[in-house]
Chains A and B, each alone.
Chain A
Amino acid sequence: MVKYTLRRLLQAIPTFFGITLLTYMLMLAAPGDPVSLLTFGPSTTQAQRDALAAKLGVNDPAVIQYLRWLTGDDWMRRDTDGDGLSDQCIILACDADGDGVNEQPGDRRGIIRGDFGRSFTKPRNVVDMILERVPATFELGFISLAVGVLVGVPIGILAAVRRGSWFDSVTRIGAVVFSSIPIFWLGLILILLFGRVLFPDVSPNPFMMGGQCPPVLVGGCPPIQGRLVYLVLPVFVLASQGVAVFSRYMRASMLDVMQQDYMRTAYSKGLSGRTTWFKHGARNALIPIATFLGPSITGVLGGAVLTETIFSWPGLGRLGFESVVQQDFPVVMAFVIIGSLATILGYLLSDILYALIDPRIRFN
Chain B
Amino acid sequence: MNRITKFLLVGAVLALAALLAIPAIAQEEGTGGVIIEASFGGDPGSLNPLLISGATDRDLAGFMFPGLLGTDPSTASIVQRSEAAPEFQGGYLVDSWEVNEDGTSITFTMREDYVWSDGVPVTTADVAYAWEAISRATELGLDVQAVFITEFVDSVEIVDDFTFTVNYKQANCQALAYASSLGGPLAPSHALGPVESLNDSTFNLAPSVTGGPFGFGELRAGEQTSLIANTTYPDGDVLPAGYILRNVPDSTVLVEQFLAGETSVINGPAVSRRADLRAYADEGNATVYSYPGNSWDYFAMNFADPNNPQNAFDADGNRIDQGNHPIFGDPRVRRAAALAVDVESIIGAAVFGEGDRMSSFIIPSSWAYANDLPMLPFDAEAGAALLEEAGWVDDDNDPSTPRVAQGAMYAEDGTPLSFTLFTNEGNARREAIATIFQDQLQQIGFQVNFQTIDFNVLLDIMDSQTFDAFILGWRNGYPDDPDVTQILTGAGDVIASGSNNASYYNERFDELNRLANTPSETDGCTVEGRRPYYVEMQEIFQEDLPYVPLFTVAGMYAAQSNVSGFSPYPSQLYWNVNTWAVNTP
Residues of chain A touching chain B, judged by Cβ–Cβ distance below 8 Å, are 30-34, 36-37, 40-46, 48-49, 51, 55, 84, 101, 103-104, 118-119, 121-124, 129, 132-133, 136, 188, 191-192, 195-196, 203-206, 208-218, 220-222, 225-229, 232, 309-315, 318-319, 322, 327
> What residues on A are CB-neighbors of B218 within 8 Å?
217-218, 220
User: Does B494 lie within 8 Å of A46, measured CB to CB?
Assistant: yes
Main secondary structure of the interface of A (DSSP, over half): loop
26 A-B Cβ contacts within 8 A?
A: A31-B457, A32-B459, A33-B460, A84-B140, A118-B199, A121-B53, A123-B199, A132-B222, A136-B222, A196-B256, A204-B25, A204-B262, A209-B253, A210-B257, A212-B223, A214-B25, A215-B224, A216-B28, A216-B244, A217-B241, A220-B220, A226-B22, A228-B21, A309-B249, A310-B253, A314-B221
C-alpha spacing A83/B207, complex, angstroms: 30
User: Does B262 lie within 8 Å of A51, measured CB to CB?
Assistant: no
User: Contact string, B282-293, partner A, CB cutoff 8 A, digits 1/0?
Assistant: 000000000000
Whether a CB of chain A sits under 8 angstroms from the CB of B170 is no
User: Does B226 lie within 8 Å of A213, measured CB to CB?
Assistant: no
Whether a CB of chain A sits under 8 angstroms from the CB of B24 is yes
Residues of chain B touching chain A, judged by Cβ–Cβ distance below 8 Å, are 18-19, 21-26, 28, 34, 36, 38, 42-43, 45-46, 51, 53, 138-141, 143, 147-148, 151, 196, 199, 204-205, 217-218, 220-224, 226-228, 241-242, 244, 246-250, 252-253, 256-257, 259-262, 454-457, 459-460, 463, 485-487, 492, 494, 496-497, 499, 585
> What residues on B are CB-neighbors of A217 within 8 Å?
28, 34, 217-218, 226-228, 241-242, 244
User: Does A45 lie within 8 Å of B249, measured CB to CB?
Assistant: no
Chain A nearest CB from B576 CB (Å) reads: 21
User: Does A44 lie within 8 Å of B224, measured CB to CB?
Assistant: no
> What residues on B are CB-neighbors of A203 within 8 Å?
261, 585
C-alpha spacing A188/B147, complex, angstroms: 42
C-alpha spacing A312/B226, complex, angstroms: 16
> What residues on A are CB-neighbors of B244 within 8 Å?
215-217
Chain B nearest CB from A106 CB (Å) reads: 11
Chain B nearest CB from A230 CB (Å) reads: 9
> What residues on A are CB-neighbors of B242 within 8 Å?
217
> What residues on A are CB-neighbors of B36 within 8 Å?
215
> What residues on B are CB-neighbors of A41 within 8 Å?
499
Chain B nearest CB from A328 CB (Å) reads: 11
User: Does B221 lie within 8 Å of A132, measured CB to CB?
Assistant: yes
> What residues on B are CB-neighbors of A195 within 8 Å?
256-257, 260
User: Does A211 lie within 8 Å of B45, measured CB to CB?
Assistant: no
C-alpha spacing A188/B252, complex, angstroms: 8
User: Does B228 lie within 8 Å of A32, measured CB to CB?
Assistant: no
User: Does B486 lie within 8 Å of A32, measured CB to CB?
Assistant: no
Q: Which residue of A lies closest to B226 (CB)?
A: A217
A45-B456 contact, Cβ under 8 Å, with A195-B260, A312-B250: no
Q: Contact partner of B26 among A216, A228, A310, CB < 8 A?
A: A216
Chain A nearest CB from B228 CB (Å) reads: 6
> What residues on B are CB-neighbors of A327 within 8 Å?
456
> What residues on A are CB-neighbors of B141 within 8 Å?
55, 103-104
User: Does A32 lie within 8 Å of B252, measured CB to CB?
Assistant: no
C-alpha spacing A329/B140, complex, angstroms: 22
A209-B252 contact, Cβ under 8 Å, with A36-B460, A51-B138: no
User: Does A49 lie within 8 Å of B22, measured CB to CB?
Assistant: no
Q: Which of A192, A203, A210, A309 has the most CB of B within 10 A?
A: A210
C-alpha spacing A204/B22, complex, angstroms: 11
C-alpha spacing A48/B139, complex, angstroms: 11
C-alpha spacing A227/B21, complex, angstroms: 9
User: Does A312 lie within 8 Å of B221, measured CB to CB?
Assistant: no
> What residues on A are CB-neighbors of B222 within 8 Å?
132-133, 136, 313-315, 318-319
Q: Which of A36, A215, A229, A310 has the most CB of B within 10 A?
A: A215
Chain B nearest CB from A156 CB (Å) reads: 14
User: Does B460 lie within 8 Å of A218, measured CB to CB?
Assistant: no
User: Does A123 lie within 8 Å of B499, measured CB to CB?
Assistant: no
A322-B220 contact, Cβ under 8 Å, with A123-B51, A188-B252: no
Chain B nearest CB from A1 CB (Å) reads: 36
Beyond contacts A124-B205, A228-B19, A311-B253: 7 other A-B pairs, Cβ-Cβ < 8 A, are: A45-B151, A123-B143, A203-B585, A209-B253, A214-B23, A217-B228, A217-B242
User: Does A44 lie within 8 Å of B260, measured CB to CB?
Assistant: no
C-alpha spacing A192/B196, complex, angstroms: 50
User: Does A208 lie within 8 Å of B262, measured CB to CB?
Assistant: yes
User: Does A32 lie within 8 Å of B148, measured CB to CB?
Assistant: no
Q: Which residue of A lies closest to B139 (CB)?
A: A101
User: Does B18 lie within 8 Å of A228, measured CB to CB?
Assistant: yes
A312-B260 contact, Cβ under 8 Å, with A31-B456, A42-B499, A101-B139: no
Q: Which residue of B lies closest to A123 (CB)?
A: B143
A44-B148 contact, Cβ under 8 Å, with A208-B262, A215-B36, A220-B218: yes
> What residues on A are CB-neighbors of B204 within 8 Å?
123-124
C-alpha spacing A43/B487, complex, angstroms: 10
Chain A nearest CB from B238 CB (Å) reads: 13
User: Does A229 lie within 8 Å of B19, measured CB to CB?
Assistant: yes
C-alpha spacing A46/B249, complex, angstroms: 33
User: Does A210 lie within 8 Å of B459, measured CB to CB?
Assistant: no
> What residues on B are CB-neighbors of A51 within 8 Å?
138
User: Does A36 lie within 8 Å of B262, measured CB to CB?
Assistant: no
User: Does B42 lie within 8 Å of A43, measured CB to CB?
Assistant: no
User: Does B199 lie within 8 Å of A49, measured CB to CB?
Assistant: no
Chain B nearest CB from A88 CB (Å) reads: 18
C-alpha spacing A217/B30, complex, angstroms: 12
> What residues on B are CB-neighbors of A133 within 8 Å?
221-222
C-alpha spacing A136/B222, complex, angstroms: 9
> What residues on A are CB-neighbors of B499 within 8 Å?
41-42
In order of increasing CB-CB distance, the 7 nearest A-B pairs are A32-B456, A314-B222, A42-B486, A122-B45, A123-B143, A46-B497, A132-B221
C-alpha spacing A144/B38, complex, angstroms: 26
C-alpha spacing A195/B36, complex, angstroms: 17
Q: Which of A37, A104, A204, A217 has the most CB of B within 10 A?
A: A217
Chain B nearest CB from A59 CB (Å) reads: 12
Chain A nearest CB from B532 CB (Å) reads: 23
A218-B250 contact, Cβ under 8 Å, with A104-B140, A123-B204: no
> What residues on A are CB-neighbors of B43 within 8 Å?
122
A228-B22 contact, Cβ under 8 Å, with A42-B499, A48-B147, A132-B221: yes
User: Does A42 lie within 8 Å of B459, measured CB to CB?
Assistant: no
